[in-house]
Chains A and B, each alone.
Chain A
Amino acid sequence: MKAKKIIIAGNPNVGKSVIFNAITGSYATVSNYPGTTVEVFRGKTKINGEEFEVIDTPGMYSFVPVTEEERVSRNIIFAEKPVLVIHVLDTKNIERMLPFTLQLIEAGLPVVLVLNIMDEADRLGFKLSTKILEEQLGVAVISSIGTMGKGIAGIKDKIAAYASLEPSKLKVSYEPAIEKFLLTSGLGRLRSLLVLQDDTEIIESVKKEQKAKYKELEKEIDKLKKKYSQPLSYIIALTRQHTATKIVEEAKEKKGRVLENFSETLSRLTMNAFSGYVILFLVLYFGLYKFVGEFGAGYLVGLMESKVFGEWIIPPLANFIKHALPQKWLQDIFINDYGIVTLGMRYAFAIILPIVGTFFFVFAIIEDTGYLPRLAMLIDRIFKKMGLSGRAVIPMVLGLGCGTMATMVTRTLSTKRERLIATLLLALAIPCSAQLGVIMAILTTLPVLMMIWLVIINLVFITAGILSTKLIPGEPPVFFMEVPPLRLPKISNLFVKTYTRMEWYLKEVMPVFLAVSLIMWTADYSGLLKLAIKLTAYPLSALGLPVSTATVFIMGFFRRDYGAAGLYDMSRNGLLNHNQILVGIVVMTLFLPCIAQLIMMIKERKLGTAMAMTGVVTIVAFGTGYILNLALNIFRIVL
């Protein structure tokens, strides 16, 4: 028998993933901002011997979807035929979130309501009677504090008892004219309501099923629409809200009070036009520069390279291989210039992993405190100039960690145009942490180069943004975002999240680094490498770069960070002058995203668009490098 399905649904950022993790023991990412979960997560759990499939969904505000991930969630709820829908809400905001419970009940779904984040409601002195709520709603109600594991047992009990849960008899009564339509349309209450709310997807499906009938209905709907001065969805939402408010009033035992505490003060400081930027600077300085740059890219990379690989791994291994495999060409698969261990593994584990790991850790802290939505609010005005809303800050900052993940997260943006611009900027001007770390490692001793590099990348970012706003048609974006309270990160979550992301990252990198080493090795022995070097030598000389950088750029084609790591090797060995380092790094930063990101771009934006973007990115990268080199030469600047 197939496992029965349980769906966890609710508004964004209410703790759905926390509860999912507690029930299933697996890990879906938990962060303190709306829109963390962009994909459906599935996990298994066994309660009283029966197996259940638990599904964590992206947060949604209402049943009529606005963004893409809301659509995903809604369709999952319809398609999966769950035996139970667990609606998780944030207790202190129950009045605003209860209409969603009403919608679930309206859809005839078996619902359990979970009043989560009870600790924050308690702190505000807000008290509710679960008993009255249960009576009023006709569904089971459980209080919980997901982060402390409170209430999870209660939820599991309800899951186990799914068969005996009675469907709710609660009915929201709408305006008489609307009620009449619901009764007579013949579509059923739920679908009629959705049709009245202009839900395009449902309207399409009704049209397909019963074409003639829909024509008639359309007339009725138009009549209804004319009757009211506001859109029907507005009227329906209002009625639902009134019902919800009434229920909450009944159940409320103690009204909360307003707290003005330290976290509230700090929160305001992060969003103030002046102190906000000071805080942003501090976050960047300590988080990125000090921790990722100096500690990760400097100290950890040094340790891994010179100690772990340089002393412990490579010498004994090389020794062993030299004895075990007498042929040089066989030895070269593992060690020497393009060996799996000396090139692939060393780059992946010694140079890139420490940097990515430290970045993910800092990023986890930023996420869990709830800083990102505040940054979004701070920066919205500036982003608007580039056709993006402040919300796009989340994929952009995440892109500094891993462009592939970030490209996926562009789903949370609400218009197609915004998603397109964000994807392009991610591919072009946002270096991922691996690359960023390596670049920082090269540039920490060369502060002037670092400044110039920063200015150029920012200029390209802004110019590309402004140009694409002009060129890509569509509505300008609007910005709205719920700003969650600042929270103290849970240490265990920081580590689990960093670990999960590093694991994800390694899984993505492993096959590539194996392949790169093998391809380079094959190319080296078949003479293809020589040909490729010859072919790239000409364009590279136009950039003022020596022929020896060709291999670096060829590797950079597979992963930008590998290319950067190659530059790092060369610059440390004194093979490049400062002008060349600058040009090389600029081109490498702007250059094509790694293969994984390209695949994600194709998946999210379709092949044609992804290819067009790749073309643009390549031209801009080499064009910028060319102009930069030209400028340096004309003005005889020697850095």
Chain B
Amino acid sequence: MIMHKSEEILEGLYINIVENKKKAVSLLELKLTEESAEVKELVKKELVTLKTGNLKLTKEGEPEARDVVRRHRLAERLLTDVFDMKGLCVHESACEFEHILHRGIDEQICRLLGHPRTCPHGSKIPEGKCCKEKGIKDTRVISPLSLLKPGEKGKISYIQADDQAKLQTIMAMGVLPGMELSLLSNFPSYLFKLGNSQFAVDETIARQVFVRITK
């Protein structure tokens, strides 16, 4: 187990170095010194290297940091989608929450949420092992339309927005959060009922509509 503070450093390093492609992060930026306990811990565990005041992730440190980021963003999703929290509160609570979600639990939550691919702010959630299995062992409270079983009902929770134009088309048809839908069939295309009309969509779109299952 490493300290909460250390986990947050790893998180910061991951975002800066892996996602934003910076070379390294200086201690100054993180308002830390070489003497800080967290830094010492991380260096000792060989998760980071420290050179002339700059921090870098080691080979072992990177997956560790990735997991922290994953937990943070999953926590954000959980708080918004299941507990209906909004705004700044989400981020703060998630910061607390992420430390509780340890390995195994984060997988459970990921399954519960239908393997979301982005956090509510649109940042990518690093993929876990469970995400590749395509929902075989899922508990499923929230699920993308593509993993719903025919006959299941739900309320649209959110629509993943990695492409403006696509989002626009989905929304324009009146497929919006809060609307109830039920999946009629999932092959050869996804056919669902919303209000009194039926829509056919392909897998690309079905993977973007996340539904809170009501049965």
Q: Which residues of chain A in 188-230 are interfacial with respect to chain B, using CB atoms and an 8 Å cutoff?
A: 198, 229-230
Q: Which residues of chain B in 164-210 are interfacial with respect to chain A, using CB atoms and an 8 Å cutoff?
A: 164-174, 176-179, 184-185, 187-189, 191, 194-202, 204-205
Q: Which residues of chain B in 55-110 are interfacial with respect to chain A, using CB atoms and an 8 Å cutoff?
A: none
Cβ-based interface call for A376 (8 A)? yes
Counting chain B CB atoms within 10 Å of each CB, the highest count among A96, A99, A389, A476 belongs to A96
Give chain A residues whose Cβ lies under 8 Å from the Cβ of B202. 380-381, 384, 389-390, 478-480
Knowing A96-B174, A237-B176 are in contact, say whether A377-B189 is a contact too (CB < 8 A). yes
Knowing A61-B172, A64-B172, A414-B169 are in contact, say whether A93-B184 is a contact too (CB < 8 A). no
Give chain A residues whose Cβ lies under 8 Å from the Cβ of B39. none
Give chain A residues whose Cβ lies under 8 Å from the Cβ of B204. 476, 478-479
Contact check, A233 vs B169: say whether CB atoms are below 8 A apart: no
Give chain A residues whose Cβ lies under 8 Å from the Cβ of B200. 271, 373, 376-377, 380, 390, 479-481, 483
* Main secondary structure on B side of the interface with A: mixed
Contact check, A272 vs B168: say whether CB atoms are below 8 A apart: no
B211 to chain A, nearest CB (A): 16
- Binary flags per residue of A80-121, CB closer than 8 Å to B gives 1, else 0: 000000000010110111010000000000000000000000
Q: In the bound complex, how far is the Cα of B179 from the Cα of A99, in angstroms?
A: 14
Contact check, A66 vs B172: say whether CB atoms are below 8 A apart: yes
Contact check, B165 vs A273: say whether CB atoms are below 8 A apart: no
Picked from B164, B185, B188, B199, the residue with its CB within 8 Å of the CB of A268 is B185
Q: In the bound complex, how far is the Cα of B171 from the Cα of A250, in angstroms?
A: 24
Knowing A230-B161, A376-B200 are in contact, say whether A237-B121 is a contact too (CB < 8 A). no
B176 to chain A, nearest CB (A): 5
Q: Which residues of chain A in 17-69 are interfacial with respect to chain B, using CB atoms and an 8 Å cutoff?
A: 61-62, 64, 66
Cβ-based interface call for B120 (8 A)? yes
Contact check, B196 vs A233: say whether CB atoms are below 8 A apart: no
Cβ-based interface call for B13 (8 A)? no
Contact check, A92 vs B191: say whether CB atoms are below 8 A apart: no
Knowing A377-B188, A380-B200, A479-B205 are in contact, say whether A61-B174 is a contact too (CB < 8 A). yes
Q: In the bound complex, how far is the Cα of B195 from the Cα of A245, in angstroms?
A: 12
Contact check, A381 vs B194: say whether CB atoms are below 8 A apart: no
Cβ-based interface call for B128 (8 A)? no
CB-nearest residue of chain A relative to B119? A229
Q: In the bound complex, how far is the Cα of B120 from the Cα of A221, in angstroms?
A: 20
Contact check, B205 vs A482: say whether CB atoms are below 8 A apart: no
Give chain A residues whose Cβ lies under 8 Å from the Cβ of B174. 61, 93, 95-97, 99, 241
B: interface residue count bin: 35 or more
Picked from A229, A241, A377, the residue with its CB within 8 Å of the CB of B122 is A229
Picked from A64, A231, A376, A483, the residue with its CB within 8 Å of the CB of B161 is A231
CB-nearest residue of chain A relative to B199? A482
Give chain A residues whose Cβ lies under 8 Å from the Cβ of B120. 229
CB-nearest residue of chain B relative to A199? B168
Cβ-based interface call for A308 (8 A)? no
Q: In the bound complex, how far is the Cα of B163 from the Cα of A234, in angstroms?
A: 12
Cβ-based interface call for A378 (8 A)? yes
Contact check, B169 vs A231: say whether CB atoms are below 8 A apart: no
Knowing A234-B159, A482-B173 are in contact, say whether A66-B198 is a contact too (CB < 8 A). no
Cβ-based interface call for A627 (8 A)? no
CB-nearest residue of chain B relative to A64? B168
Cβ-based interface call for A238 (8 A)? yes
CB-nearest residue of chain A relative to B161? A231
B13 to chain A, nearest CB (A): 23
A31 to chain B, nearest CB (A): 17
Give chain B residues whose Cβ lies under 8 Å from the Cβ of A93. 174, 195-197
A266 to chain B, nearest CB (A): 13
A613 to chain B, nearest CB (A): 26
Give chain A residues whose Cβ lies under 8 Å from the Cβ of B184. 268
Q: In the bound complex, how far is the Cα of B171 from the Cα of A384, in angstroms?
A: 23
Give chain B residues whose Cβ lies under 8 Å from the Cβ of A384. 202
CB-nearest residue of chain B relative to A230? B161
Counting chain B CB atoms within 10 Å of each CB, the highest count among A66, A198, A478, A481 belongs to A478
Give chain A residues whose Cβ lies under 8 Å from the Cβ of B173. 61, 96, 480, 482
Contact check, A92 vs B189: say whether CB atoms are below 8 A apart: no
Knowing A373-B200, A483-B191 are in contact, say whether A234-B185 is a contact too (CB < 8 A). no
Give chain A residues whose Cβ lies under 8 Å from the Cβ of B196. 92-93, 124, 126, 256
Knowing A273-B188, A380-B189 are in contact, say whether A234-B195 is a contact too (CB < 8 A). no
Counting chain B CB atoms within 10 Å of each CB, the highest count among A126, A233, A377 belongs to A377
Q: In the bound complex, how far is the Cα of B176 from the Cα of A324, in angstroms?
A: 75
Picked from A95, A230, A231, A242, the residue with its CB within 8 Å of the CB of B195 is A95
Q: Please name 18 further chain A to chain B contacts, defined as beta carbons within 8 Å, in addition to the given A242-B178, A271-B185, A480-B200, sorted by A numbering.
A: A64-B168, A96-B174, A97-B174, A198-B164, A238-B176, A241-B174, A271-B191, A273-B188, A377-B188, A377-B189, A377-B191, A380-B202, A381-B189, A478-B166, A479-B204, A480-B169, A483-B197, A483-B200
Chain B residues with CB under 8 Å of chain A are 120-122, 159, 161, 164-174, 176-179, 184-185, 187-189, 191, 194-202, 204-205
Cβ-closest 5 pairs across A and B: A96-B174, A61-B172, A377-B200, A479-B202, A62-B172
